[in-house]
């Protein structure tokens, strides 16, 4: 359910008691943490318990498991996830009581008011780039507030209020949230059609990014290796916005050169206007991480910070939860997990997995996410998975939409060419199907935005038992 953005968004300290429906998600948990740190009375609910819920409770935030009308009886403002249905009892009661009922975009905007916001947008790479920019600014002497779309181990959280006026925020386009923030500066990593259940078609999706650029006040950083982002840069520059381009393209303002990916790290040199700038040593493997790092570097430079300090900070980023996250090793098999669910993301993570696997095999266990995305892009998902040595595909994860019997994971499997590809059925049985197929030296990569996260730990448990 998409809740309307109010005509007037009040600062967070004027919202009274705030309750979050869907507080266990990455977006709402970040906003709840920020408000709680600001001294605002915060509570929340979610359908099930989780590590995030437990962490929020430990921080002093009241969290309910399950939804009930009386949980909003004493609050003034309700912020709801887009995954929340209109008939949710807390939504129904909030409307009956005449409470403010806001989408997450309005909630986050309320925290941003009075701060200089830097928004990181794009189809892919938002979380990594937001985290890298946060690290960079901290290393350069700033103490920014931040809201990131995943837990970042090195930061200990996904959100924190800082002491400076800077606010670094991941700006999600999936429901139009990024059109609300009105940032001083912004990064666009790429524009690669997605969320067509919301936007309808690729042209409308690209047009949303044009509208986003129109909300930016000072500067825009754009990776022009991506054709959609390059087109956006041209339009923004023609409107008079200060635009800095990044990437490996020869005409990029800040360009990456001499990329080397080995031993789980990525090293590259950079140039600015053709002159050598600074070297980057990244603790994560993959060319797409190098592109993210270039964008973070450019944003820090646009704010007036020094390249050496920014580069040192970017080098401290060692990954975020579900972004090529190493889960462990058992029986000589290494297991990684990643959030990739779009063909471009799948291709990038499969390439990174291939580099990590070295001389071993790369085995990918994938779960398609959303009916509409699988309908539109399922064949391309299968093509991207074809670069692995063996592929397993679990049942489609249905969220926000009703099931469609004609759209299944078979669309993905049938498009895989080259390696063996197997349908494994429900996620909860996937580990037992995969385990007999892996051997010492393999790297297993689980991919998807749903509950595929459970497969890696289950597989490691099975492999450890087999090794005993």
Instruction: Tell whether 310 and 354 lie within a shared domain.
Output: no
Are 437 and 342 part of one and the same domain? Answer: yes
Classified as helix, coil or strand, 104 is helix
CA-based nearest residue to 241, from 305, 188, 281: 188
Closest CA to 116 of 22, 196, 181: 181
Distance of CA 122 to the CA centre of its chain: 10
- Claim to verify: residue 303 and residue 343 sit in the same structural domain: no
Q: 263: how many CB neighbours lie within 10 A of its CB?
A: 10
Same domain, 151 and 69: no
pLDDT tens profile 236-272: 999 889 999 999 999 999 999 999 988 878 999 999 9
Share of the chain above pLDDT 90, in %: 73
Residue 300: what pLDDT?
Answer: 98
Beta bridge partners of 260: 267
In whole angstroms, what is the distance from residue 169 CA to residue 207 CA? 21
- Beta carbons within 10 angstroms of residue 48's beta carbon: 8
Question: In 10 A of CB 162, how many CB atoms?
Answer: 18
Instruction: Indicate which residues carry an active-site annotation.
Output: 126-127, 170
Local confidence band at 341 (pLDDT 50, 70, 90 cut-offs): confident
What pLDDT is attached to residue 322?
Answer: 67
Q: What is the pLDDT of residue 196?
A: 64
- Residue 320 in this model has a pLDDT that exceeds 70: no
Q: Is residue 109 part of a domain?
A: no
What is residue 396's three-state secondary structure?
coil
Instruction: Inform me whether the pLDDT recorded for 233 exceeds 90.
Output: yes
Is the residue at 7 inside a domain?
A: no
In a domain, 4, yes or no: no
Spatial separation of the C-alpha atoms in residues 296 and 305, rounded to whole Å: 12
Find out whether 354 and 395 touch, Cβ atoms under 8 Å. Answer: no
Mean pLDDT, residues 362-386:
92
Q: Which domain holds residue 191?
A: 114-315
Please provide residue 61's backbone torsions phi and psi, each rounded to the nearest 5 degrees.
-95, 130
Q: Please state the rounded mean pLDDT for residues 63-74.
A: 96
What tens digit of pLDDT does each residue of 178-187 get? Answer: 899 999 999 9
Q: Do 347 and 432 reside in the same domain of the chain? A: yes
Does residue 3 fall inside a structural domain?
A: no
> Of 75, 103, 131, which residue constitutes the final position of a domain?
103
Span 418-428, mean pLDDT? 92
- How many other CB atoms are there within 10 angstroms of residue 9's CB atom? 21
Residue 426: Cβ-neighbour burial (10 angstroms; 0-12, 13-18, 19+) = exposed
DSSP state of 70: G
With contact defined as beta carbons under 8 Å apart, do 78 and 2 qualify?
no
The per-residue pLDDT for 466 is 78
Residue 450's contacts (CB-CB under 8 Å, 6 or more residues apart) are 367, 369, 397, 399, 427
Q: How confident is the model at residue 200 (pLDDT cuts 50, 70, 90)?
A: confident
Q: What is the SS3 assignment for 125?
A: coil
Is residue 46 located within the same domain as residue 22?
yes
Q: 444 forms bridges with which residues in the sheet?
A: 335, 363
Helix, strand, coil share (%) of the chain residues, nearest 5: 40, 25, 35
- Domain contains 1: no
pLDDT higher for 140 or 400? 140
Residue 190: the pLDDT is: 92
CB 267 within 8 A of CB 259: yes
265/212 same-domain check: yes
Question: Residue for token digits 């002093």?
Answer: 60
| Domain C-terminal end among 69, 103, 137 | 103
| Average pLDDT of the segment spanning 122-151 | 94
Res 1: pLDDT: 58
271: CATH: 3.40.1190.10
Q: Is residue 259 part of a domain?
A: yes
Domain CATH for 94: 3.40.50.720
Mean pLDDT of the chain: 92
Residue 253 lies in a domain: yes
pTM for this prediction: 0.80
Residue 468 banded pLDDT, cuts 50, 70, 90: low
What lies within 8 Å, CB to CB, of 263 at 6+ separation is: none
Number of domains composing the chain = 3
What pLDDT does residue 103 have?
94
73/192 same-domain check: no
CATH code where residue 343 lies: 3.90.190.20
When computed from its CA atoms, the radius of gyration of the chain, rounded to whole angstroms, is 22
CB 443 within 8 A of CB 360: yes
More confident residue, 116 or 265: 116
User: What pLDDT is recorded for position 399?
Assistant: 75
Average pLDDT, stretch 348-369?
90
> Is 300 inside any structural domain?
yes
Residues 303 and 330 in one domain: no
* Dihedral of alpha carbons 237, 243, 249, 251, sign: positive
Is residue 198 scored above 90 in pLDDT?
no
Give CA separation, 443 vs 239, 331, 377, in Å.
Answer: 48, 11, 26
Give me the percent of the chain exceeding a pLDDT of 70.
Answer: 98
Q: Does 245 lie in the same domain as 163?
A: yes
The C-alpha angle 265, 312, 273, rounded to 5 degrees, equals 90
Asked if pLDDT for residue 397 goes beyond 90, the answer is no
Give the per-residue pLDDT at 344: 84
Q: Residue 321 — very low, low, confident or very high, per pLDDT cuts 50/70/90?
A: low
- Please write down the HEC assignment for all residues of 268-301: EEEEECCEEEEEEEECCCCHHHHHHHHHHHHHHH
Grouping H, G, I as helix, E, B as strand and the rest as coil, residue 188 is strand
Q: 82 or 36: which carries more pLDDT confidence?
A: 36
What's the rounded Cα separation, in Å, for the pair 73 and 43? 12
Check whether residue 350 and residue 266 sit in a common domain: no
The residue-averaged pLDDT of 65-91 equals 94
Domain limit, last residue, from 287, 315, 343: 315
Same domain, residue pair 59 and 97: yes
Task: Tell me: pLDDT of 455 over 70.
Answer: yes
Q: What is the mean pLDDT of the segment spanning 377-399?
A: 92
Interval 152-180: pLDDT, tens: 878 989 999 999 999 999 998 877 888 99
């Amino acid at each position: 359910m998409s809740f309307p953005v109010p005509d007037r968004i009040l600062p967070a300290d004027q919202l009274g008691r705030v309750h979050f429906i869907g507080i266990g998600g990455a977006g709402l948990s970040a906003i709840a943490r920020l408000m709680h740190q600001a001294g605002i009375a915060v509570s929340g609910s979610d359908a099930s318990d989780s590590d995030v819920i437990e962490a929020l409770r430990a921080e002093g935030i009241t969290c309910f498991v399950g939804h009930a009308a009386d949980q909003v009886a004493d609050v003034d403002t309700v912020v709801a996830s887009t995954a929340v249905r209109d008939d949710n009892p807390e939504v129904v009661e909030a409307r009956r009581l005449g409470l403010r009922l806001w989408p997450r975009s309005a909630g986050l905007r309320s925290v941003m008011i009075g701060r200089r916001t830097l928004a990181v947008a794009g189809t892919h790479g938002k979380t990594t780039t937001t985290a890298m920019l946060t690290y960079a600014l901290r290393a350069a002497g700033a103490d920014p507030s931040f809201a990131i779309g995943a837990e970042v181990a090195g930061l200990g959280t996904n959100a924190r209020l800082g002491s400076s006026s800077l606010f670094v925020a991941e700006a999600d386009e999936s429901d139009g949230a990024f059109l609300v923030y009105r940032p001083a500066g912004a990064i666009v990593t790429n524009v690669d059609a997605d969320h067509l259940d919301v936007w309808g078609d690729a042209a409308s999706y690209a047009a949303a990014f044009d509208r986003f650029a129109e909300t930016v006040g000072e500067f825009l950083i754009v990776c022009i290796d991506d054709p959609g982002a390059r087109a956006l840069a041209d339009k923004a520059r023609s409107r008079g916005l200060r635009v800095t381009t990044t990437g490996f393209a020869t005409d990029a303002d800040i360009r990456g050169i001499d990329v080397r990916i080995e031993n789980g790290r990525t090293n590259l040199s950079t140039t600015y206007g053709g002159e050598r700038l600074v070297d980057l040593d990244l603790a994560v493997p993959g060319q797409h991480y190098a592109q993210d790092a270039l964008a973070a570097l450019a944003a820090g430079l646009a704010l007036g910070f020094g390249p050496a300090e920014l580069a040192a900070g970017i080098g401290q980023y060692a990954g975020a939860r579900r972004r090529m996250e190493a889960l462990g090793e058992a029986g000589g098999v290494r297991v990684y997990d990643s959030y990739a669910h779009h063909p471009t993301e799948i291709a990038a993570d499969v390439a990174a997995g291939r580099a990590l696997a070295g001389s071993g095999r790369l085995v990918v266990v994938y779960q398609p996410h959303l009916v509409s995305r699988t309908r539109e892009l399922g064949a391309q998902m299968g093509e991207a998975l074809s670069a692995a040595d063996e592929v397993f595909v679990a049942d489609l994860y249905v969220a926000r939409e009703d099931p469609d019997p004609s759209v299944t994971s078979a669309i993905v499997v049938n498009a895989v060419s080259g390696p063996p590809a197997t349908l494994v059925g429900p996620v909860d049985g996937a580990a037992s199907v995969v385990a007999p197929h892996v051997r010492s030296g393999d790297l297993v990569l689980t991919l998807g935005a749903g509950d595929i996260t459970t497969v890696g730990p289950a597989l490691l448990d099975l492999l450890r038992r087999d090794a005993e």
